[in-house]
Structure 1
């Protein structure tokens, strides 16, 4: 009896041992700790025609490899080879997964850039709004390529004491002519923190900005555009048309046509409504309150939130002041929106570019780029300002 029981136990142990060995072998087969491999392409740069909307880009699709057959590669972001890529940067990411679940990924960028707009006509992409039988002609007095190293004082006021507006800035940033210069093919307007604060007209100025105004007047019917790169500080970068006003001699209405108004950065102290003002295309028409006109200011704004910061690159901001009652706005050559102002915009104004501070986006003492930023970060750059009028063919 004992012998039979012992034999039975021995057989059972041998059987269990064989199962264990079998399981160990299977587990050994599944323990693949080697990650697969995948290599992506270098960045692909594509330049397209000024009026093109996108570019068809083909590339060799990355394919992962592994030490064991069965690895699968899939694209998790971006666009596939042969698709149309928009202007800007598209990041393409690929992930390879092996049979054991190990993964490896890689990415590369497709960067599509348009050639610079033609100097022979306004920048239009898609539908061209030029009326039949008409052509655009440059208005030289209201245009500047900034291609010399000498500021053109015959075209622009940069000293607010010399224009007729008498506006020296919004506290705490004082408009200073010395902050304006030209060089490297652009108009450069620097903002800064003053080494020594200035007290003037019962105001305390701790920062410096600047304002420029055209000496020739801007009128309805013209097309206005600027290629501008904003500074990175809390201060503004702008392109607009200002209208003088006088309650004694007229004009009695105080108008303002903003083509682009933005800031370089916002922060925790920025008013809630302005949190996106560092990545925005913002335009507006104002009829400001004056004692000889209306009691409450009226505005008609338009805006488009951008996926890029205004200081990330040059943007082309355009405005066709088509008539006193209809104003069309363009961004990088594409139509964005139309504003119909609350009153006729039938007055003459001045192209204006102002870098100033706002109380709704105040200086942030603990992170004041006007003091700590590089010269590049503190500078708004205008590649050019161009104005066009319609004439018969």
Structure 2
């Protein structure tokens, strides 16, 4: 029997949801949505249980100040609008906005957003960060550090660097303050990917698999484009602490600020975030409480069947928005059922397997059918082995 690949049925939903497509989980694990850091922005206001409408402890980078009035939720998007302040505040003459998670417990997992940048010289960003804490402490002085994971930094218009207009720009920063010093030293390592259209022309998906304290994988439009190993100049476990999530529009000091004309143009001055989704990696057979009720997976199954000599190994991945039952049927060439396997799977995107012992394989030609069962329907497809 040769190894075969099978893409099974897809459930079709009458909705405009863009289905989730995180990377394939490791064997024996599944991705589960973390509701604390996920939002479809389908309401009419920002969810104050999850998000701040400004950046606590940071007013923004002059000349752009963060103001809550820049933030709105409508038409299925989080919108961050830039504009001109009615009255300057010291060095701040214009405004942008910041939405930050109230929880700072985002840890290893997959983090993604679907966003469309404004078309002015303001950034549209998606990143993670945490506060300074001591690294080593002595009697005389102490140092400190923080982490920053930039999943996407882009500028939709007026930028002096083309890559910020048509690319995904990602970075890892170990931000270190030496004992007795007030300035930060950035231990940074990043990467970039060219997109198939400019960041302000259409929505793109930006994702990062924060795998462990040293490694981050970056995905542009659901395709892996690079793996970054975080610098270990100071710490051998540089990304070892949880962080919060930030969606921010700001000005940079390496390029001119947007013009007043652009800031007052409502056709180009707004950044849009369709959704932000965050996933935790758990064991495929571990029951966990679901904290996100949205149906964001396009439910399907993929199968790989391989003859191991003494048994038939069935490896499969599945996507399910809720707990499901899957029925696998081993058929002979006449369609007779030679073996039946019923499995229950938990909601999420899982990677699992089972085996059929060789004594069940009494014909030379077989096929496998697999069927999801739900309250409303069940569907089936077949592959020949």
Instruction: Confirm or deny a common fold (TM above 0.5).
Output: yes
Distance 2:18 2:74 in 1: 20
**Cα distance 1:364–1:225, how it changes in 2: closer, same or farther (>3 A)?**
closer
1:130 is aligned, of 25, 28, 31, to 25
- Indicate whether 1:239 and 2:130 are aligned: no
**Other-structure match for 2:361:** none
1:148 is aligned, of 39, 43, 58, to 43
**Cα distance 1:342–1:368, how it changes in 2: closer, same or farther (>3 A)?**
farther
2:195 is aligned, of 306, 322, 337, to 306
**Cα distance 1:288–1:386, how it changes in 2: closer, same or farther (>3 A)?**
same
Distance 1:158 1:295 in 2: 27
Cα deviation, residue 289, structure 1: 3.9
CA contact (8 A) 1:330 1:336 kept: yes
Distance 1:364 1:150 in 2: 27
Distance 1:231 1:310 in 2: 8
**Other-structure match for 2:73:** 182
- Indicate whether 1:261 and 2:174 are aligned: no
Distance 1:246 1:295 in 2: 13
Structure 1, gaps ≥5 residues long: 1-48, 53-114
Distance 1:218 1:258 in 2: 17
Cα deviation, residue 242, structure 1: 1.1
Cα deviation, residue 354, structure 1: 1.0
- Indicate whether 1:229 and 2:109 are aligned: no
- Indicate whether 1:382 and 2:273 are aligned: yes
2:99 aligned counterpart, secondary structure:
strand
CA contact (8 A) 2:54 2:100 kept: no
**Other-structure match for 2:215:** 326
Deviations 1:64-109 (A, max 9, x none): xxxxxxxxxxxxxxxxxxxxxxxxxxxxxxxxxxxxxxxxxxxxxx
Name the TM-score, length of structure 2 as normaliser: 0.63
CA contact (8 A) 1:220 1:322 kept: no
- More strand, by proportion: 2
Bigger relative contact order (CA 8 A; separation at least 6): 2
CA contact (8 A) 2:104 2:130 kept: no
Deviations 1:146-177 (A, max 9, x none): 111121111011133xx3xx111000000001
Distance 1:378 1:261 in 2: 17
Cα deviation, residue 222, structure 1: 1.2
Deviations 1:19-63 (A, max 9, x none): xxxxxxxxxxxxxxxxxxxxxxxxxxxxxx9xx9xxxxxxxxxxx
CA contact (8 A) 1:244 1:251 kept: no
CA contact (8 A) 1:266 1:275 kept: no
2:118 aligned counterpart, secondary structure:
coil
C-alpha RMSD of the superposition: 2.6
1:278 aligned counterpart, secondary structure:
helix
CA contact (8 A) 1:220 1:324 kept: no
Distance 2:205 2:119 in 1: 18
Distance 1:205 1:295 in 2: 23
**Other-structure match for 2:99:** 212
- Indicate whether 1:169 and 2:60 are aligned: yes
**Cα distance 1:310–1:295, how it changes in 2: closer, same or farther (>3 A)?**
closer
CA contact (8 A) 1:233 1:368 kept: no
1:148 aligned counterpart, secondary structure:
coil
- More helix, by proportion: 1
Deviations 1:1-34 (A, max 9, x none): xxxxxxxxxxxxxxxxxxxxxxxxxxxxxxxxxx
